[in-house]
Structure 1
Amino acid sequence: MVAGSRSSRSTAASKSRTRWAGSARVDRHTALRIRRSPGRRQMRVDRSGVSRLAWLSTRGGIMEIRRGLRPTLVQTVAELAAERTVARALAWPEQHATALVDETVRMAEIPAPTFGEATRAAYTAERFQAVGLERVEIDATGNVYGLLPGDGERAVALVAHLDTVFSADIPHAVIRRDTRLYGPGIGDNAAGLAGLVGAAAALRAGHVALRRPIWFVATVGEEGLGNLRGSLAATERLGAQIEAMIAVEGSFFGRLSYSGVGSRRLEIRCQSAGGHSWHDFGRPSAVHVLVRAAADIAALQVPAQPRTTFNIGRIEGGTGVNVIAEEARLLLDLRSVEASALDELTARVHAIVRRHEFNGVRITVREVGYRPAGSLDASHRLVQTCSAVLQRLGVHPQCAPASTDANIPLSRGIPAVTLGVTRGGGAHTRGEWIEASPLARGIQQLILAALALGDPRTADLTAS
């Protein structure tokens, strides 16, 4: 699941268009700037430190780390990257760039709609076995698991979702054009799955001695009404073992998401006696009642901070032009980066529905989807370590909320972030595309992040 799309642009052009709403400091080593999104009012930023930065990030702000985090942390990541076996693993993605592109194409060309991921799951399990992962299996939910053993009891988990928003009956052939790959689901999330396979292969090829085990998990049900059921099953299975989870998305290389956007999806159904449009005129119509309720919902005012949104995505009902409708229904999507704001919006929708119910009309509300919100502080070890890794790769991390597999562990107090492995655009359209060239660096990011999180030196440096 993606929060938007962003095509790649030249660094100079991007910098020249960037407008900054302010800056703030986490500690004596960390300085951040807060970017104003186009069309939004400027956010006021004070200098009160971490708590204020967490407030901004969890409420829709986009932050870019301008200067390094702790210099010693960046230095430690650099020293880790220079170790002989790690350097060998980091070289592997660049040496096998063509194979990684081919892997992405193979993944993308296997249809995997939500609730129909079995074929892609079977292929992913084969690839996990082929690159040398242990304890490879597909569980009852449909998730694929593989393990790289290491020292210690606590593990790091790299997780990418199998499913896409596209049905199996549309063409899934990938088109290669210059440096881009075009195809449904190529970025969301074929490239993410290829990233898992590539990271595992690189670590095995480098013969890296792991200080922490690394779980590789391909999940079902991340998109839409899948309701993160794969992530839920993986978190329940591995939660006690996991020190940190990294959700891997195909696009948005350089984005570091540590705030999960919560959502509720509601089906609102209206029923009435119905009748003939002429003979029974005056009887309540389910369609009329529902559209009046929908108009009241559409008129709701929601806060800009914490960012909160709603959308009536579908409305249907009735059987004919001369029939007073007996039934009508709509599907409503509610979102917020803060759980309390989401709960408040949900309560307001229920109140509207109750106002429109009267004798002869029955309205019911059923929750058909739920994603819990959750977030980490900007100073958390996982956030700082991933930021240092991106800086080591020459990338300035941009921080923005997202709705991904990371929502589940975040909501349960398990540290989690979301990282992308390449850049692209057109998400959730048949014209979806990715850039092939950043893929190797995106996989290097996963390798370094997983290894750094297991390194006791980074634990010491980021301890609060």
Structure 2
Amino acid sequence: MKSYLKAPFIAIALLSACVSAQQSVKTEKEYTKEIAKLAKSKKVQAAFGHIDSQEDQTAKDLVTLTEILAPPFKEEERGKAFGQMLLAAGVDSLWTDKVGNVIGLRKGTSGESGFVGVDAHLDVVFPEGTDATVTQVGDTLKAPGIGDDTRGLAMLISLLKAMNQSKIQTQKDLLIVGTVGEEGLGDLRGMKYLFNESGLDIDSWIAIDGGDIGRISNAGLGSKRYKVIVKGQGGHSWGDFGLANPHHALGRIISTFSSDAWAYTSGNIPKTSFNVGRMGGGTSVNSIPFESWMEVDMRAIDPKNLDEIERLFKNSVEEAISEYNSSGIRGKVTYELVQIGDRPSGELPTSLPLIQRAMAATEYFGVEPKLGRGSTNINIPVSKGIPSVCIGRGGKGGGAHSLHEWYLNDETGPESIKLALLIALAEAGLKK
């Protein structure tokens, strides 16, 4: 990978989290002019026309992909369908990497090294067995995952078709990617592989996710997630009363951690959060459980705060277990910590050309760009100082991560595809 920012600059960018997100940033005139000139190109205008004319097909692609459920770690079938769509739309080559990312290559003309990547994620949060049948009420499409992020996948197909139909050629190679593992316990495994193990030389990255047109993330919200497993001998609630109880020990962990973490996060620090999201264990109401578990999510703007709340968490677990085992109970409990998530924080300076281009392209469509921070695919490249943005998919939608998710394709739907195209062309360079 190339290094785009000198080390001190990276440090400043990654630790500048005293400000949650840039409130108001001015677009530099050179990028406003660059985007305006690019948008006026006859081929780009032709591509815009193709995006408009194929909106019915884009909606059909959206329905097709939505109805192929892609639960966490089981994106293969949707990936195959998405790959077939990429081939039909005209990629130069297509492959699926070892973790399941579906990658289409559209060759540039310059022979320069360094790819420009555009992606949407294949996975949804819903488990196997979820009914993903799309229903239509008026102009509104309803189904789990139809917005997050299946709409992004359909946008990529439309973007690729428009480039080929208008005979646009870029100077740099483009990667058009359906990534795996963006949601939940997927822990960005698709992006981690692309940027840590694939060997691909990636210059910049544009992710499509999120909501409204105008939303631009240039910062990653870091998180660490753990599963705590407490084990004991187990027994009968009456006959073995007094035996070490994993549920009781887990309750002490929660109490200790909540107290310490609340005191820390309530201090004068950039926003930092903690949450016990899931719990389980036990066999019956009249049984002392042999196992108890919980899953914990911790997030922070600043990597230093994330490291600190992780330290507090580990100390709380150790302290609570020690105190419980010394409380007079018979026998002891043991515990195990399993890390189930690690997303790095980071923030890129707004002066980077990619971010300026994203802002200028957004303004070209008469929309005010809103820079911010999120937990998305760009967490990985951002943490490495590689130019990256995450943009919205446009249209109107709601109910993300629920069975009642919906999407309405208003005028900002096709404009969001055009926006993604403009940013990608500005980064990859339009052949003259």
TM-score, length of structure 2 as denominator length: 0.88
Inter-CA distance 351–237: structure 2 relative to 1 (3 Å threshold) = closer
Match of 1:347 in 2: 311
Equivalent residue for 1:142? 100
Distance between the aligned counterparts of 1:238 and 1:87, measured in 2? 35
* CA apart distance, 1:336: 1.4
Match of 2:229 among 269, 272, 294: 269
In structure 2, the residue matched to 1:413 is 385
SS at match of 1:112: coil
- Aligned with residue 282 of structure 2, among 318, 333, 357: 318
- What is residue 88 of structure 2 aligned with on the other side? 130
Do the aligned residues in 2 keep the contact of 1:58 with 1:259 (CA within 8 Å)? Answer: no
Note closer, same or farther for the CA distance 1:63–1:131 as it changes in structure 2 (3 Å cut).
Answer: same
Shift of 1:52: 10
Contact 2:14/2:346, CA 8 A, preserved across alignment: no
Alignment counterpart, residue 429 of structure 1, candidates 380, 389, 402: 402
Return closer, same or farther for 1:425/1:163 CA change in 2, 3 Å cut-off.
same
The match for 2:8 is none
Alignment gaps of 5+ in structure 1:
1-50, 458-464
Match of 2:366 in 1: 394
Q: How far apart in 2 are the matches of 1:216 and 1:135?
A: 11
How many angstroms apart in 2 are the aligned matches of 1:429 and 1:340? 33
Offset of 1:62 from its aligned partner? 6.3
Deviation string 1:211-246 (CA, Å, 9 cap, x unpaired) is 221110111111111111111222246665221101
Give yes or no for the alignment of 1:385 onto 2:349: no
Give the match for residue 443 of structure 1: 417
Asked whether the 8 Å contact 2:145–2:405 carries over to 1, the reply is: yes
Partner residue of 1:260? 220
Deviations 1:253-300 (CA, angstroms, capped at 9, x unpaired): 211001111111101111223333233322321111101211222332
> Contact 1:261–1:401 at 8 Å: present in 2 too?
yes
Shift of 1:357: 1.9
Task: Write the distance in 2 (CA, Å) between the matches of 1:58 and 1:185.
Answer: 34
* Structure 1 vs Structure 2 CA RMSD: 2.3
Other-structure match for 2:132: 172
Matches within 5 A, 1:242-257: 242-249=202-209, 251-257=211-217
- Residue aligning to 2:77: 119
Equivalent in 323, 327, 330 of residue 291 of structure 2: 327
Identify the range of structure 1 (382-391 vs 175-184) with the bigger mean alpha-carbon deviation. 175-184
Change (3 A) 1:286 1:238: closer
Matched residue SS, 1:140:
coil
The alpha-carbon deviation at position 247 of structure 1 amounts to: 1.1
CA contact (8 A) 1:121 1:218 kept: yes
Instruction: Report the AA paired with residue 317 of structure 2.
Output: V
Change (3 A) 1:53 1:275: closer
C-alpha contact 1:382 1:415 (8 A) present in aligned 2: yes
- Alpha-carbon distance in structure 2 between the residues aligned to 1:294 and 1:407: 29
Structure 2 SS opposite 1:315: strand
Distance in 1 (alpha carbons) for counterparts of 2:269 and 2:424: 33
Q: 1: distance between equivalents of 2:194 and 2:407?
A: 28
The answer (yes or no) to whether the contact 1:265–1:367 under 8 Å persists in 2 is yes
8 Å CA contact 2:221, 2:345 repeated in 1:
yes
The residue type paired with residue 419 of structure 1 is: I
Pairs within 5 Å for 1:17-416: 59-61=19-21, 63-65=23-25, 69-150=27-108, 151=110, 152-236=112-196, 241-249=201-209, 251-299=211-259, 300-301=261-262, 302=265, 305-358=269-322, 359=325, 360-416=332-388
Deviation at residue 419 of structure 1 after TM alignment: 0.8
Amino acid at match of 1:431: H
228-237 vs 289-298, greater mean Cα deviation: 228-237
Give the distance between the partners of 1:85 and 1:426, measured in 2 at CA.
37
Is the 8 Å Cα contact of residues 309 and 334 (structure 1) preserved in structure 2? yes
Moved more, 169-178 or 105-114: 169-178
Matched residues in 2 for 1:158 and 1:90: separation? 18
What SS does structure 2 have at the residue aligned with 1:258? strand
For structure 2, list consecutive stretches of 5 or more residues without a partner in the other structure.
1-10, 326-331
Q: Judge conservation of contact 1:57–1:63 (CA < 8 Å) in 2.
A: no
2:400 partner amino acid: A
**Alpha-carbon separation, structure 1, partners of 2:421 and 2:198:** 20
The residue number in structure 1 matching 2:5 is: none
User: CA separation of 1:309/1:286 partners in 2, compared to 1, >3 Å: closer, same or farther?
Assistant: same
Counterparts of 2:164 and 2:18, CA distance in 1 = 37
Q: SS state of the match for residue 81, structure 1?
A: helix
Q: Name the aligned partner's letter for residue 433 of structure 1.
A: W
Contact kept? 2:89, 2:160, Cα under 8 Å: yes
Aligned-residue offset at 1:412:
2.2
What one-letter code is carried by the residue in structure 2 that aligns with 1:85? K
Contact 2:169–2:430 (CA under 8 A) maintained in structure 1:
no
Q: Give a deviation string over 1:370-422, Cα, whole Å, max 9, x none.
A: 11222201222211110001001111111221111111112222221111121
Aligned in 2, Cα 1:259/1:206: closer, same or farther, shift over 3 Å?
same
> Matched residues in 2 for 1:456 and 1:135: separation?
20
Distance 2:101 2:393 in 1: 21
> Cα distance, 1:111 vs. partner?
0.7
Percent identity reads: 33
Does the 8 Å CA contact 1:57/1:400 hold for their aligned counterparts? no
* 1:389 counterpart SS class: helix
Deviation at 1:182, TM superposition (A): 1.4
Structure 2 counterpart of 1:379, which letter? S
* C-alpha distance after superposition, 1:329-386 (max 9, x if no partner): 1111111122211111110011111111234121221112211222201222211110
Residues 87-96 or 255-264, more deviating: 87-96
Distance in 2 between residues matched to 1:177 and 1:238, nearest whole Å: 43
How many Å separate the matches in 1 of 2:18 and 2:154? 29
